[in-house]
Amino acid sequence: MTVPPAVETRNLTKRYGDVTAVDGVDLQVERGEVFGFLGPNGAGKSTTLNVLLDFVTPTEGSATVFGHDVREERAAVRERIGVVPENYGLYDRISGRRHVEFAVELKDATDDPDALLDRVGLSPSEAARPTGEYSTGMSQRLALAIALVGSPDLLVLDEPTSGLDPNGVRRLREIITSEAADDTAVFFSSHVLGQVRAVADRVGIMNRGELVAVDTIDGLRSELDIGARVTLDVDDSPDVTFADDAITDVTVAEGTLRATCLEPGAKLRLLDRVRESVSVTDVRIEESSLEDLFASYTEADAGGEADAGAEADVGDEADAGAEPGGDGATAQTNGTAATESGSVEVDG
C-alpha cells in the first residue's frame, strides 16, 4: 500500500468567469519535503493554496492532503496542517498571546503558547500587546506561531517572508529547516527566489495558471545552464579575449566589464584573465542566475515565445550550452553591444 503524499492535486482548475486562474495543475509535495512554490504575483499560486485550504472551490479537479479530500474530509486535514494564509488578519483588540492560546484550544493541542511565541521571536511584552499595534513583521511572526500549534505534519505558508526583516527571515528559515528535520512537509509560496533557494528541496514554478516546471533548484539550473552575472570595475579598457566556453556575454563600457560565468570556477578565470591587462578596483557578483531562470519560465510566454523556457531543456542536451531557454533575444542584444564596444572579442 502506498502512502499518500502530503499534498496532491489532480487537474486542479479554477476559473473566474472567463479568467482561468489555475489551469490543470498536477502537483505533489512529498512527506517531509520542503517545497517552494514560485511565480510572479497573479500566477495562480495563491489560488492553488486557497483550494488546498478549502477557501475556494475548484472548478475542476481535486486536491488532497495526506490522502484526505480537502473539502469532504476537512476535519482530518485540519488536524494535520498548520497554515499562514495569504491576506490573513488578526483580531486587533486581542493580544498576540491570546491568539496562540485560542489556536491551541481550537486545535485541542497541548503546546505552551509562550514557547511558541519565543520560537518565532515575539517577546513576552510584545505578545501581551493587542495585535492592532503590531507591525507587519510582528503579525507574520504571530501567524507563524499560530501555524506551528499542534506540531502539524504539513505547514502551508503563503508568502511567509513578506514584511519580515532580515532577522525574521533568518528565523523563519531556521524554523522551516528544523520542522523539515522533524519530518514535517513545508509547502510555501514566494515570488522572491532567493528566499526559496536556501530552504527548498524542490521548487514548482507557476506562470499564468500553469505549473511550468517542477525540479530541484540545481536541476533547474543545470537544465537551463544560466550562470552568474559578474561585474568588474576596471581602471582601463582591458584588451582581452576569452577562449572559454563558461564565460559568455562579455561587454565593456565606461570602466566596467560585465560577463556571465556559467560555472563557479569561471569567475576566477575571468578575474585572472582581466587582471593580466588592467587592474580591477571592485568585483560584484550578482546572484541573478536564479532570477534569470525564473524569468525564463515566467516571461517567455509574455514575450510571445510560447513555452520556450519550458521546452528548451527537454530538447537537445548537446545544445544545452547554447541559449538559455527564452533568453535568446537577450543574449543576442548583449552580443551586439559587445561588438559595438569593439574592445573585447566575444567568444562563445
Partner 1 sequence: MSVEQIARKDIADTGRSRSLWLVVAAVVVLTGGLVTLAAFVTDLGSREVITQSLGISASLFPIIALFAAKGAITAERDSGSLRTLLALPPSRGEVLFGKLLGRLVVVVVAVAVGVVGCVVGLLVAGKPTSATVVAAYAAMLLGTVVSYTSVGVGISASVATDGRATGVAVGAFTVALLWSALVGLVRSLLVEVGVVSPDASPQWLELLGIAEPSQAAQALYRALVSGTPFPGDPLQSAWLPALVLLLWAIVPVAVGYRRFRRADLG
- Residue 72 within binding range of partner 1, rule CB under 8 A: no
- Min separation Cβ 149 and partner 1, Å: 8
Which of 87, 110, 304, 316 lies at the binding interface for partner 1 (CB under 8 A)?
87
Which of 79, 114, 215, 233 lies at the binding interface for partner 1 (CB under 8 A)?
79
Interface residues for partner 1 in 141-160 (CB under 8 A)? 143, 146-147
Q: Which amino acid is at 92?
A: D
Are the C-beta atoms of residues 227 and 330 closer than 8 Å to each other?
A: no
Residues near partner 1 (CB under 8 A), total: 33
Q: How many helices (H) and strands (E) does the chain have?
A: 13, 14
Query: How many of the other CB atoms lie within 10 Å of CB of 95?
Result: 17
Query: How many of the other CB atoms lie within 10 Å of CB of 19?
Result: 8
Residue closer to partner 1 (CB basis): 98 or 269: 98
Give the total residue count for the chain: 348
Binding region for partner 1 (CB under 8 A) out of 43-51, 111-119, 250-258, 297-305: 43-51
- Min separation Cβ 84 and partner 1, Å: 8
- Min separation Cβ 100 and partner 1, Å: 11
Contacts of the segment 48-53: beta carbons below 8 A, 24+ positions apart: 48/9, 48/12, 48/22, 48/206, 49/85, 49/86, 49/156, 49/158, 49/187, 49/189, 50/85, 50/86, 51/9, 51/12, 51/14, 51/22, 52/7, 52/9, 52/156, 52/187, 53/83, 53/85, 53/156
Residue closer to partner 1 (CB basis): 107 or 221: 107
Supply φ then ψ for residue 156, to 5 degrees.
Answer: -115, 115
Distance CA 310, CA 301 (A): 10
Which of 93, 110, 125, 218 lies at the binding interface for partner 1 (CB under 8 A)?
93
Q: Which amino acid is at 190?
A: S
Interface residues for partner 1 in 230-289 (CB under 8 A)? none
- Min separation Cβ 329 and partner 1, Å: 35
Binding region for partner 1 (CB under 8 A) out of 91-99, 175-183, 200-208, 244-252: 91-99
Binding region for partner 1 (CB under 8 A) out of 90-98, 118-126, 162-170, 227-235: 90-98
C-alpha cell of residue 211: 505549473
- Residue 53 within binding range of partner 1, rule CB under 8 A: yes
- Min separation Cβ 139 and partner 1, Å: 10
- Residue 47 within binding range of partner 1, rule CB under 8 A: yes
- Residue 185 within binding range of partner 1, rule CB under 8 A: no
341 CB-near residues (< 8 Å, 6+ apart): 251, 252, 253
Residue closer to partner 1 (CB basis): 93 or 254: 93
Q: Which amino acid is at 158?
A: D
- Listed residue (203, 156, 202) closest to 179, CA to CA: 156
Return residues touching partner 1 (CB under 8 A).
Answer: 46-47, 50, 53-57, 74-75, 78-79, 83-94, 102-103, 105-108, 143, 146-147
